[in-house]
Amino acid sequence: MKYDYIIVGSGFGGSVSALRLSQKGYKVLVVEKGKWFKANDFPKTNWNFRKWLWMPGLRFFGIMKLSVFRHIAVISGTGVGGGSLVYANTLPTPKSAFFKSGSWSDLNDWENELKPYYKEALRMLGATKNPKLFDGDLGLKKMSEDLGIADRFDATRVAVFFGTPNKTQKDPYFNGEGPERSGCNFCGACMTGCRYNAKNTLDKNYLYLAQKNGAEILAENEVYDVKPINVADGSEGYEVYIKNSTKFFKKHQKIKVKGVVFSGGVLGTVKLLLKLKLSSLPNLSDKLGEDIRSNNETLVSVSGLDKDKNYSKGIAIGSILNTDDNSHLEICRYGEGSNAWKLVHLPYVTGSNVISRLFKIVAKFLKNPIDYFKIYFVNGWAKNTVVLLFMQTLDSTLKFKRNVFGQMTSTVSTGLAPTPFIPESKALVKAYRKAINGVSTSFALETLAGIPSTAHILGGAVMGKDPATGVIDKDNNVFGYQNMLVIDGAMISANPGVNPSLSITAIAERAMDQIPNKST
């Protein structure tokens, strides 16, 4: 066999797996359906849909994908480096409740078990505290003071190289073994792709070092089938079927390997495994697709009306406010000129049914026509707008399954259905709007259909003590198959209530630590 392991996807779990397996002596191939992006390849603004959005049907092969289900709209990343290309760099550690709830809670003392792996993840991702606050962050600080919780406001810990703005220097992280880096200039464009080589995306740490160790990366290709060789449990290896993902004429290939690591994120891994459970991998647990979590998020935009402010300056998420024991709020921004989101935003309203919300939308337009005219036609949306990212640790779950057309659909599994109209979120939007003299809008799907958005979809292949309670064991091994692992957001088995990238990285580090070195 030419390769020992094929890794399906190059996000946080896949990148960690690529480096650590290659260090253990294994020959590794990473298969990524998205493109390779260098700094100059990223769009200058999100008006460049071809480079920003992943919509293959329209020949758009960018870094951000929007997937809409009945109960949730999901933003995810595509490209070599996965979600790190489009995420907001933020690396918080979850509170204790995360480690003590969900299907994994009885499998280990996770909070203590994972401490060294969180430490290593922070080192590898170049985590540091945001050194500079700008108008959007100062608005959140003022809001915290207005609410009497100023002690709960803080700058974020982020995966960004600050250095000297725009100055290139030798690798600052890996004793010269990594690539050159340039200091952040606080342009705010992290989520459309960093054009200045300051964002610590995975192609600048884990994947870069993995390649130096001999790992290979096959971009613009996707895995569509995995079949055990000879023995049903895969103990003699697998045949992995791959096809091109960006060409009209698909080139197919078959590669034999010892093991497979699924790291395509929830939307990639769960969708593929649901398909394979009906054909090549029938022994997969019936829990597959269950315990999907949205992090109980809401995304609401607030546009300031004061002309002397510039809310696009800073890093994508520069500050955080822990509003109570279960919730927190972050300020998200786009770089100046990235105004495309305004095309799908409507006045922010809440209500129990779509008719009442439609009346409220019309009423807001009629009551404040000048303010909304400025937002949509005069002021630059990104320059004047922040997105309030609200998250909760309170738990509810969805279930993903395949319909007759082979597409994933969602149903409510436990708890209440996700909603964009969380009372705590509504109160915080009102408080922030007052703090910056602003007007609030939200994604049209939230306002019209009541479907909330999330950038942090999790679960679907969670940990359990056996196939009746999970899809994978505590070491990320897939029940029913040998040398097969799930290492990405699908493995997250409880609600972290914070940006999950650091936790995915830490759990991936632990999973790789359980795999022995390749025998010679």
Contacts of 62 (CB under 8 A, 6+ apart): 43, 48, 49, 50, 51, 52, 53, 54, 78, 79
pLDDT mean over 476-505: 96
CATH number of 3-514: 3.50.50.60
Question: What integer pLDDT is reported at residue 405 of this predicted model?
Answer: 86
Check pLDDT > 80 for residue 495.
yes
Largest CA distance in the chain: 75
Q: Where are the beta strands (DSSP E) in 33-84?
A: 54-55, 60-61, 64-68, 73-77
Give me the residues paired with residue 402 across strands.
Answer: 408
What is the band of 250 on the pLDDT scale with cuts at 50, 70, 90? confident
User: Tens of pLDDT along 46-77?
Assistant: 999 999 999 999 999 999 999 999 999 999 99
Domain boundaries along the sequence of the chain: 3-514
User: What is the overall mean pLDDT for the chain?
Assistant: 95
Whole-prediction pTM value?
0.96
Residue 25 backbone zone (phi > 0: left; psi -120 to 50: alpha; other: beta): left
Q: Work out the percent of the chain whose per-residue pLDDT is above 70.
A: 100
Check pLDDT > 90 for residue 324.
no
Question: What integer pLDDT is reported at residue 87 of this predicted model?
Answer: 96
What is the band of 333 on the pLDDT scale with cuts at 50, 70, 90? very high
Cβ proximity of 287 and 480 under 8 Å = no
Check pLDDT > 80 for residue 201.
yes
User: Tens of pLDDT along 342-364?
Assistant: 999 999 999 878 899 999 999 99
Check pLDDT > 90 for residue 320.
yes
Check pLDDT > 90 for residue 436.
yes
Three-state SS annotation for 379-421: CCHHHHEEEEEEEECCCCEEEEEECCCCCEEEEEEECCCCCCC
| Pairing of β 128-129 and β 157-158 | antiparallel
Question: What integer pLDDT is reported at residue 52 of this predicted model?
Answer: 97
Q: Determine the residue type at 316.
A: A
Q: Where are the beta strands (DSSP E) in 435-508?
A: 438-443, 453-454, 484-486
Question: Catalytic site residue 456?
Answer: yes
| Pairing of β 397-402 and β 408-414 | antiparallel
Check pLDDT > 80 for residue 379.
no
User: Tens of pLDDT along 139-178?
Assistant: 999 999 999 999 999 999 999 999 999 999 999 999 999 9
What is the band of 516 on the pLDDT scale with cuts at 50, 70, 90? very high
Where is average pLDDT lowest: 129-133, 417-421, 478-482, 500-504? 417-421
Q: Work out the percent of the chain whose per-residue pLDDT is above 90.
A: 86
Check pLDDT > 90 for residue 89.
yes
Give me the residues paired with residue 199 across strands.
Answer: 160
Q: How far apart are CA 439 and CA 152, in angstroms?
A: 25
Q: How far apart are CA 439 and CA 365, in angstroms?
A: 11
